[in-house]
């Protein structure tokens, strides 16, 4: 039987419903750790997984807001939910599914490039995909990683989802520029960029939850 890729099976409605369910559990005080919910980027993420045929040989790296990435990468819904209930939402790691995430801004850029370097040297199948926000994409570590990956033509793609905000700060105002640094540069070739408006606050639900 022909295998069906994960991106075809996980729908936009599945992603929205998952975040909604986690939000409801979080609101009841049943998750004693931070969660970062996202709404509004389901279709771009699904399209990227589909277009690039991100599959089991590929590595996905993400940050504090990676529930959707885990589902799209093939982590079973209940396994993911349990990890979130266990307080691991901001640093989801499922080595079996080649997905690793971190709650630290600027981390993992070098890791993704290192994995891509290893894949290339060993002539192995697979690529690295690293998903981050637009403020993370303005960090020095992002620039160094993109520069290195471009110059050595490594199999890594950087995906930047721009919601305009770094927590509650306007990213463009911080940098005094109305566009990301890489726009119209040679480095843009290694970067997929899209904009979205997040339907949730940066973290949690925007209100104090008591346990
Ligand atoms: C080293 C470090 N500094 C600060 C933070 C706190 N922090 C978490 S997310 C974030 C904003 C990141 O903005 P962006 O990259 O645009 O991500 P998004 O809005 O998509 O979550 C900050 C400052 C952190 N996690 N790590």
For residue 91, give Cα distances in angstroms to 57, 79, 100, 102, 107.
21, 14, 8, 4, 11
Q: Any idea which residue has 């199999």 for tokens?
A: 155
For 162, phi and psi rounded to 5 degrees?
-100, 105
Residues comprising the chain, all counted? 211
Domain 6-195 sits in CATH at: 3.40.50.970
Domain assignments of the chain as residue spans, ordered by start = 6-195
pLDDT tier at 8, thresholds 50, 70, 90: low
Determine contact, residues 76/53, Cβ cutoff 8 Å: no
Best mutation site among 101, 109, 136 for ligand 1 pocket (most ligand atoms within 8 Å of CB)? 136
Best mutation site among 143, 166, 201, 204 for ligand 1 pocket (most ligand atoms within 8 Å of CB)? 166
pLDDT tier at 3, thresholds 50, 70, 90: very low
- Within 10 angstroms of residue 70's Cβ, the number of other Cβ atoms is 25
Which pLDDT tens digit goes with each residue over 103-153? Answer: 999 999 999 999 999 999 999 999 999 999 999 999 999 999 999 999 999
């Amino acid at each position: 039987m022909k295998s069906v890729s994960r991106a075809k099976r996980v729908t936009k409605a599945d992603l929205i419903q998952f975040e909604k369910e986690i939000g409801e559990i979080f609101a009841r005080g049943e998750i004693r750790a931070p969660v970062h919910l996202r709404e509004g980027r389901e279709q771009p993420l699904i399209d990227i997984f589909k277009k690039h045929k991100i599959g089991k040989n590929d590595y996905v790296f993400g940050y504090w807001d990676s529930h959707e990435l885990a589902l799209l990468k093939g982590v079973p819904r209940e396994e993911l939910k349990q990890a979130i209930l266990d307080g691991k939402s901001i640093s989801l790691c499922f080595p079996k599914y080649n997905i690793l995430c971190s709650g630290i801004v600027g981390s993992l850029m070098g890791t993704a490039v290192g994995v891509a370097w290893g894949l290339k040297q060993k002539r192995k199948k697979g690529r690295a995909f690293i998903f981050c926000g637009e403020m993370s994409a303005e960090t020095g570590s992002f620039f160094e990683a993109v520069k290195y990956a471009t110059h050595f033509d490594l199999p890594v793609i950087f995906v930047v989802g721009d919601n305009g905000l770094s927590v509650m700060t306007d990213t463009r105002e911080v940098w005094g520029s109305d566009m990301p640094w890489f726009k119209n540069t040679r480095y843009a070739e290694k970067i997929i960029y899209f904009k979205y408006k997040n339907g949730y606050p940066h973290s949690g639900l925007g209100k104090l939850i008591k346990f």
